[in-house]
């Protein structure tokens, strides 16, 4: 009986995950149609988004079954490199600043942050202090820097050296003076740790991955420690996307969360099956009310 129940549990889990996948893709197609009316099909961002959606909706699921996760990602990434040329771009209807985009992952993040709005950009207001954990090349950092203005500050946290260099470059080409850089990983302790470096710039992680033979040593701090070093006390927004380290980062931020009971926290919680439950449970214990968006982003309310 137990084996049968386990089999049914796995079946329902697969159906649930498949349903979420196609629901997310359907919403993405709806947003793409709206974006086409806004930008016109000739826009490079629309061309990329169209090929990206068709590739990951129809090609990726079958490739995942036949080739496995890593090979299917590589194959799809090769296909979507075609409409994603490198260069410095301006998208004035989305964001006033310039952005350097060099690979397909950069274009995907631009769409995710600026169009599909997974991090709820409307909560960014002038004069706020923001922490961007997992800043990557700085797309959310740049968006936030625009919206908070000179009276606010954003701390951009990125441990991987190449991403960090591009983060600095993107801030510098816009001459922002309200960005504080932190070339460190965050967790629930202070020390040194291996960062597992992925072939994709958006998937570097402190957690062992399929690419565990490729790593670099990075400094690790708690958010509490980092903010004390930078002399920040008031924090208005904390955005976290750290490839599975989210719950550890929150545990290393207990003092910050207690001292900022009205802080808005936005956490990408789709990196492993139990992450939503863990993150939501921790935040609720810390006294925060939460909601979950369709893309498995937890937001405090």
**Helix spans in the chain (H):** 2-39, 44-54, 60-67, 69-80, 104-110, 139-148, 161-173, 223-230, 246-251, 254-259, 275-285
**How many CB atoms lie under 10 A from the CB of residue 298?**
23
Question: Could you tell me the CATH number of the domain that includes residue 255?
Answer: 3.40.50.150
Q: Do 60 and 170 have their domain in common?
A: no
pLDDT at 3 (0 to 100): 44
Tell whether 111 is covered by a domain.
Answer: no
pLDDT digits (tens, 9 = 90+) for 151-178: 999 999 999 999 999 999 999 999 999 9
pLDDT digits (tens, 9 = 90+) for 251-261: 999 999 999 99
pLDDT digits (tens, 9 = 90+) for 37-87: 888 888 889 999 999 999 988 998 889 888 887 788 888 888 888 778 899
> What is the domain range of residue 16?
2-80
Tell whether 96 is covered by a domain.
Answer: no
Mean pLDDT value of segment 102-110 = 92
**How many CB atoms lie under 10 A from the CB of residue 77?**
19
Tell whether 188 is covered by a domain.
Answer: yes
Torsion, CA 293, CA 296, CA 299, CA 301, rounded to 10:
40
Going by C-beta distance under 8 Å and a sequence separation of 6 or more, which residues neighbour residue 271? 243, 244, 246
Q: Identify the burial level of 50 via C-beta atoms within 10 angstroms of its C-beta, where 0-12 means exposed, 13-18 middle and 19 or more buried.
A: middle
Query: In the listed set 65, 80, 95, which residue is the last one of a domain according to the structure?
Result: 80
CA distance 117 to 127: 21
């Amino acid at each position: 009986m137990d084996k049968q129940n386990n089999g049914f549990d796995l079946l329902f889990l697969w159906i649930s995950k498949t349903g979420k996948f196609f629901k997310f893709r359907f919403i993405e197609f709806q947003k793409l149609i709206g974006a086409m009316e806004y930008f016109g099909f000739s826009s490079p961002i629309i061309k990329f988004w169209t090929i990206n959606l068709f590739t990951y909706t129809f090609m990726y699921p079958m490739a995942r079954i036949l080739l496995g996760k890593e090979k299917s990602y590589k194959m799809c990434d090769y296909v979507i490199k075609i409409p994603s040329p490198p260069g410095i771009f301006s998208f004035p209807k989305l964001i006033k600043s310039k952005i350097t985009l060099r690979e397909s992952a950069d274009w995907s993040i631009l769409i995710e942050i600026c169009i599909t709005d997974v991090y709820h950009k409307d909560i960014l207001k002038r004069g706020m202090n923001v922490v961007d954990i997992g800043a990557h090349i700085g797309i959310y950092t740049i968006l936030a820097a625009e919206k908070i203005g000179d009276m606010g500050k954003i701390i951009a946290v990125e441990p991987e050296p190449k991403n960090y260099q591009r983060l600095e470059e993107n801030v510098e080409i816009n001459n922002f003076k309200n960005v504080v850089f932190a070339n460190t990983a965050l967790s629930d302790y202070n020390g040194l740790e291996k960062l597992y470096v992925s072939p994709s710039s958006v998937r570097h992680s402190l957690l062992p991955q399929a690419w565990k033979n490729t790593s670099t040593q990075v400094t690790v701090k708690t958010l509490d420690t980092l903010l004390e070093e930078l002399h920040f006390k008031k924090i208005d927004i904390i955005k976290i996307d750290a490839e599975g380290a989210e719950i550890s980062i929150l545990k290393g931020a207990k003092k910050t969360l207690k001292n900022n009971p009205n802080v808005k926290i936005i956490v990408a919680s789709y990196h492993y099956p139990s992450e939503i439950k863990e993150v939501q449970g921790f935040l609720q214990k810390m006294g925060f009310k939460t909601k979950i968006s369709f893309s498995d982003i937890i937001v405090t309310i």
